Amino acid sequence: MLSPTPLSLFCALILCLPLVIIVTITSPTTTVHGGSEHDPVLDFTPAVKTHQRFSVKSPPLPPVDDKSLLRAASRVNSRTPPGLPKKIAFLFLTVSPLPFAPLWELYFNKTPKNLFNVYVHADPSYPYEMTFSGVFAHRVIPSKPSLRFTPTLISAARRLLAHALLHDRSNHMFTLLSASCIPIHSFNFTYETLTQSKKSFIEILNNEIGSYDRWAARGPDAMLPEVKLEDFRIGSQFWSLTRQHARLIVGDETIWAKFNQSCVVRDTCYPEENYFPTLIHIRDPRNVVPWTLTHVDWNGSSDGHPRMYAASEVGPQLIVRLKNDKPRYDDSGIDSFDPTLMRRRDPFLFARKFSPDSILPLMSIASDVIFKD
């Protein structure tokens, strides 16, 4: 038998080298770290293209400053990719831990990962004792303090929208939720309701009591001339928006400049309940269903907060009642160009507020009542 010569071994190595490169090159997954050991913003994993065989380039990271972040998000494609499933972006805006995380885990359990994304804006000034885990792990975006009676709650929601737009082109609907929100239907029911809609769901109320005081909270002329009193609207800060409206919000500068002012009268300053309905009413009132799909009970409200359900109140009867209730709408807010709105029977998909200790009774009826459609 002939012994291999150095030349023949070198030739064999050259011939095998392309195969080695093909086998070993993979698309990397990049994790964005943002925060210290005391910061809840642990990390955020952006979307990565895995279909490019020889791609070794990491996806661009979202800009750090809000101005660049919003500008980049406003330039994304307004349509989701054809041939791929539409996704719902669940945007959790919280200033505390998520007490109902176990319920949301059940909600997303066994749901294909290509149907949803989760994003969390966690106020870094809160002393979080535990990191976010499960479906919320690595989903906390770079966050900033979010305070009542200030525009910072609007900024947090816009930040969530921007990250969701930049993260995944398949995000079709964008739903804003709080730490005290719970789902009151199954994921499949919610998915079908939202993805089949061509309109956003956002409460837009006109001629509400206290409208003038809210409009003038920054000063009697502070909103003029861009936001006239007759264009000022009130509504729930929790909404489900189409991709087109998400881009509209992150790209807005004119109306945002009016709301991004400090209030001189704090008692009537609720910018997060005014900015979104006012902006959409001014810019695109035709492509909206003017009510929210998040149930809330304002009977017995206190200090601007709606009623909070105690653990002793939670049971099958409460959940069934919330499911059967119908969204509130304002006749004057209905778009006269779309008479079909009056015939809609959209269900509530979420509800708030629930006390943190109600997680146990909620978990006990999750499968048989909450997720049973």
C-alpha dist (Å) from residue 201 to 61, 291, 309: 30, 6, 24
* CATH of segment(s) 66-292: 3.90.550
Domain boundaries, the chain: 66-292
253-266 tens-digit pLDDT = 999 999 999 999 99
CA 253, CA 272: separation in Å to the nearest integer?
16
- Is residue 176 within 8 A of residue 201, CB to CB? The reply is no
**Which tokens hold the place of 62?**
């979202």
Mean pLDDT of 301-312: 83
Confidence class of residue 6 from pLDDT cuts 50, 70 and 90? low
- Name residue 118's beta-bridge partners: 90
Q: Quote the pLDDT of residue 36.
A: 36
Other C-beta atoms within 10 Å of 335: how many? Answer: 17
Lowest mean pLDDT among 40-44, 65-69, 182-186, 368-372: 40-44
pLDDT tens-digit series, residues 263-290: 999 999 999 999 999 999 999 999 999 9
Portion of the chain with pLDDT greater than 90, in percent: 69
Do 290 and 202 form a contact (C-beta atoms < 8 A)? yes
Tell me which amino acid residue 61 is. Answer: L
**What does the radius of gyration of the chain's CA atoms come to, in whole angstroms?**
24
The least confident of 29-43, 50-64, 103-117, 225-239 is: 29-43
What's the pTM?
A: 0.84
d(CA 16, CA 14): 6
Question: Given the structure tokens 């949301």, which residue do they identify?
Answer: 104
| Residue 65 CB-density burial (10 A; 0-12 exposed, 13-18 middle, 19+ buried) | exposed
Query: What pLDDT does 327 receive?
Result: 80
Give yes or no for residue 70 having a pLDDT over 90.
Answer: yes
